Amino acid sequence: MSAHYTLPTDAVWFITGCSSGIGQTLATYIASTTTNRVIATARNSSSLSFIPSTPNVLKLTLDVTSQISIQTALTTSLQHFGRIDIFINNAGYGLMGDTEAVSDSDARAQMDTNFWGAVDITKTALPILREENPKTGQKGGVIIQVTSLGGRLAFPGNAFYHASKFALEGFTEAVSKELPADWNIHFCLIEPGGVKTNYATTSLASIAPHPAYTDPKLPTNVLRAYKSSPEAMKNWADPKVVVERLYEVVRDGVEGCNGGKGGIPFRLPLGSDSWGMQRLAMEEGLKEFGVLEGTSLSISGKEQMESIKFLRK
């Protein structure tokens, strides 16, 4: 995967989950402040009325859990604009509850939206970026997965949300390593921390506590209380600033990332909470890793490590 990408002045962005939050803010930002074009999608297209209606904006109904809906939306988009340069897999929601209290149907619905929806769009996007875009003179493009701090670290009461985001990060890392550089297809995992959207309210499905987990001092209940507090979002990031940075990163890249080559980073923590907590986790993880060295290396000789050097990138 090449590190550098040149954003066309008339780039076409395809964004899922635009009825609110980061998706709506990003679609509005592109439509209002750039010469780029945008395809804004949501389960109910009537919820897209807040996004400006201009010749550079196409609003479509899209259910990311339906492959037919995905194919219809992408076909319509290509017919309308001729190509798609940037795919933003943003649609998703939170699911909070003790793991024992979450039904299988609720857990699978979470995975269908947060993980499988992004997977199906990504798999459909690849031939568009590889085969359709070059017909218009633009080679390749960018696929951005909006995961979260919760795609790298897990917190109590959110087991299936984290499962969906961890899965999306692993899926994307593998896919990104499968593609030859000359396809000019780039991936970026956007990992926001707390953002002042409706994630903690209307976009959060909450399951009643399991009878064994009612003690208010238990971790899940402490986190519930934090999220329900009026002060919870006081220091969270402004979604307008989040999308401005996202756009700038796609347009300009980040100097020094990708092993010093610059360009679009594969992972982008956004917010002091995301960056800070991830760094702390890495530091603590390295300490633990060091303690385990003797036990780990006692299992096999250095030849085992030498045999998989080809996997390093």
With residue 142 as reference, give the H or E element that holds it: strand 141-146
CA Rg, the chain, in Å?
Answer: 21
Q: Which residue in the list 5, 29, 161, 199 is annotated as catalytic?
A: 161
Please, are residues 191 and 147 in contact by the beta-carbon 8 Å criterion?
yes
Please, are residues 106 and 95 in contact by the beta-carbon 8 Å criterion?
yes
Q: Cβ atoms within 10 A of the Cβ of 91, count?
A: 25
CA neighbor of 39 nearest in space, from 26, 22, 57, 52? 57
Rounded Cα gap, residues 115 and 64, in angstroms: 10
In the residue annotation, 93 being an active-site residue is answered as no
Q: What are phi and psi of 295, to 5 degrees?
A: -65, -45
Please, are residues 85 and 8 in contact by the beta-carbon 8 Å criterion?
yes
Q: Is 196 helix (H, G, I), strand (E, B) or coil?
A: coil
Query: What is the length of the chain?
Result: 313
Q: Which residue numbers are catalytic? A: 161
